Structure 1
Amino acid sequence: MHLGALYIADTVFSLGSVRETGRQFSLSASTVSGMLRRLETELAMKLVERTSGELATLLASSKVQKGLQPILSGLRELSALAADPPSGETYPHWASRFPLKIATIERFLEVADQGSINRAARRLKLGQPQLSLQIANFEALLGCRLFERQAQGSVLTETGRQAYTILSSISHAWSEMKSSADERFQRVARAVRIGSIIPTGSESWVARCLGMLVSRWNASGNRNTISLVSMTADDLREALKSGRIDVAILDSVFGLAAFEHMELLATEMVAIAPPESVEATVSELVENHPLCLASSRTGIGHAAMAYADGGGERQRDRSRDITAADSLPVIVDLVATHGYVSFLGRVSAEPIGHKVRIVALDQAIPLSYHLAHNGRKASLDACRLIRAAVAEIVDDR
């Protein structure tokens, strides 16, 4: 990470726009985005996200921006030491291009503390020529000498002593930010992050399975912690691919060929209808009621959409009364209280049988739920417990 990138990141946080920041510094949007991603990696936290094409800074970014201020103040002080210091108008361009890396700062401080490039190189486990070149490049960057080379070692010049004070404060501020990041990284590394499709409610097999998992995991004294999150099937795939979760419970393994996966539960699709409905067949229910289906990007949604748009009279245009939703609790409420019809796996429908009417299809359509994971030992341990929990829940039905 170099100081110019930190200056640019601070500008993004202030302007709330990657493109505007790029225009301000004559940089491409991809270059600015790359600097932000590097900072997110260094600090082990998400700082920005895109919503409807717009950049949104997250709550964490305000804390990071505050932590950057001592570093940016040091950068401005450093500019005053340059042989040709930038003016007020040219400073933003100078600061955004200043390529001094944090690692070089640490090495400069080590040489100053040791009073010798040779001793510093040994402590840093670097070659002496490599370290000498980095110090020389730093001096060339400022356009002034920072060390006097003497027979007994390297001694700071007056400018070097001023730079030492400034760079010490920058190093301290960065270390404060990184220490928090290291703590976050260790917490994440110890956690097994499990994502699941959104349960129909607290009585659903998914919710019961996860509750049983947490209870047994903690009772076993496992050193790793469990972290749970519910998402749509699309989000689960992306989260597994990006490494944000370790294990996913979902109703399709489409697009996850690179991950280990296994069938968790086999069931069949059923229709769920309003309790007061009187239609004898699913075809009649589909004809007489508006539909709310899970997104077609999910396994259940794809199967249900294909069924609802099937042959016979059901081919008529239903675009006005078919709604797609990624929230199963919302779908259940629309069926139970607003007269809609939908489809679920039987294993998901039976626990809410007191809220809706379950109607079997005239021809069975099999469905299956799956576990996908990243292969970590802790992930495999969690998968074994999840499978055991689901087996018990199914046996209890």
Structure 2
Amino acid sequence: MHLGALFVASHVLASGSVRETARRFSLAASTVSVAVSNLESELAIKLTERSSGELVKLIASGKVLDGLQPIMLAIAQLHELAGEPAVAFESWASRIPIKTVTIERFLEVADQGSINRAARRLRLGQPQLSLQIANLEKFIGHQLLERQAQGSALTRKGRSAYSIFSAVSQAWNDLKSAADERYRRVARSLRIGSIIPTGAESWVARCLSALVADWNAGRSKNAISLISMTADDLREALRSGRIDVAILDSVFGLEGFEHRELLRTDLVAIAPPGSTASTVADLVAGHPICTPSERTGLGDAATALSRERAVSRRFRNQDIMAADSLPVIVDLVASHGYVSFLGRVSALPIADRVRIVELAEHIPISYHVACNHRKASADACAMIAAAVHKIISEPVAKTAAVA
């Protein structure tokens, strides 16, 4: 990062406006936006976002702004050291070309008392380091190091610059340390997303609990973070990198990711316990319907089937309710007279709460697990597959207490 870019980004975080900052410093709005974007990249944290055309500061921006204040003070001191006109401060400060890495190298030369020794420690060529120091002196307008037979010594102006740059280095390293810690936490964490289970007894819930127990028993260095969401959201989260592993009820949208089938089952209808209709057509004709949204594999199959079985019913769309929460769907069926559809493996464990009705034809439903390129993700996929295999291989008598 350049000091000028840090100065610009700090003013954006303070004012909350890219355009105002650009006008104030006579810069292009794109230049100001890049300064903020570069700061976010360096610190591995999102500081702002666009909402209805306006810039919105996120919570983290306040802490970063506070962390930048020692650097803003140091820039003011550097301006005074350079002897620039006070009226031109903001224009000068927003265009400082000095990089934080150059500051670190100057401090290393001063600490070593020798450009040659500093170059060896930094693994740089001596001519390259000498040129960077010369450019730094040229910008400030003062000689900072006096070359001597035994090395280099700070001049009076150099000692002032050393104090200023030390403050910049400390503040920047403090900000970067927080970013590094955030990165380490994310890198250690394995984020697993799944379709929403029907309940604690479901195969999804049992599979994930087995995964956590086995994972922790193996003392993996990666902590597991679990989250449940719709299949559509799972695909988007996998693409954006917000999760590493996804368990979902469709293979759609998994191109480019490693994926495997976890299990295959067939679609069944679930009806209120007191219902008497013996066919799905009669159930659909006589009861309101609640299914997952058509964005899911299960919802797509169920919605198409329910409409097909009641084509003559008026206002059919008004009582086909989409709810991407399986516990809600199960309760609507068990307690409020609705009809829905589930994979058999998910319906069997709730057979004491709902009535299971077979379809006239076989409609397959398959569940899949997908992951990104991380080794820990692949390991988790293998363990998930093993857990599912164990669950569905249990005797039928036990399976009725599992799905």
User: What interval of TM-score do these two structures reach, taking the shorter chain for normalisation?
Assistant: 0.7 to 0.9
Structure 1 residues 326, 43: CA separation in 2 closer, same or farther (over 3 Å shift)? farther
Q: Which residue type is aligned with residue 388 of structure 1?
A: A
Aligned twin of 1:63? 63
Structure 2: state its 5+ residue gaps: none
Deviates more, 1:104-113 or 1:348-357: 348-357
Deviates more, 1:353-362 or 1:204-213: 353-362
Shift of 1:206: 1.1
Aligned twin of 1:6? 6
Q: Deviations over 1:135-188 (max 9, x none)?
A: 233334334443344454433333332221121112112222222332333333
Structure 1 residues 8, 341: CA separation in 2 closer, same or farther (over 3 Å shift)? farther
Give me the whole-angstrom Cα distance separating, in 2, the residues matched to 1:23 and 1:233. 45
Aligned twin of 1:391? 389
Aligned twin of 1:247? 245
Shift of 1:92: 4.7
Q: Which residue type is aligned with residue 282 of structure 1?
A: V
Deviates more, 1:49-58 or 1:173-182: 49-58
Instruction: Name the SS for the 1:313 alignment partner.
Output: coil
Decide which of 315, 332, 341 is 1:343's aligned counterpart: 341
Structure 1 segment 139-218 matched on structure 2, within 5 A: 139-218=137-216
Structure 1 segment 273-312 matched on structure 2, within 5 A: 273-310=271-308
Shift of 1:375: 3.8
Judge conservation of contact 1:49–1:56 (CA < 8 Å) in 2: yes
Decide which of 264, 267, 278 is 2:265's aligned counterpart: 267
Q: Deviations over 1:309-338 (max 9, x none)?
A: 437616866444444343333433444444
Give me the whole-angstrom Cα distance separating, in 1, the residues matched to 2:191 and 2:157. 50
Give the percent of matched residue pairs that are identical in Structure 1 and Structure 2.
65
Decide which of 105, 108, 111 is 1:107's aligned counterpart: 105
Give me the whole-angstrom Cα distance separating, in 2, the residues matched to 1:352 and 1:55. 48
Decide which of 364, 367, 370 is 2:365's aligned counterpart: 367
Structure 1 segment 213-252 matched on structure 2, within 5 A: 213-252=211-250
Instruction: Name the SS for the 2:101 alignment partner.
Output: helix
Aligned twin of 1:83? 83
Structure 1 residues 35, 260: CA separation in 2 closer, same or farther (over 3 Å shift)? farther
Give me the whole-angstrom Cα distance separating, in 2, the residues matched to 1:20 and 1:292. 51
Structure 1 segment 110-121 matched on structure 2, within 5 A: 110-121=108-119
Give me the whole-angstrom Cα distance separating, in 2, the residues matched to 1:360 and 1:22. 67
Judge conservation of contact 2:13–2:65 (CA < 8 Å) in 1: yes
**Please, what is the CA RMSD of the aligned residues?**
3.2
Shift of 1:127: 1.6
Question: What TM-score results when the alignment is normalised by the length of structure 1?
Answer: 0.85
Structure 1 segment 8-47 matched on structure 2, within 5 A: 8-16=8-16, 34-47=34-47
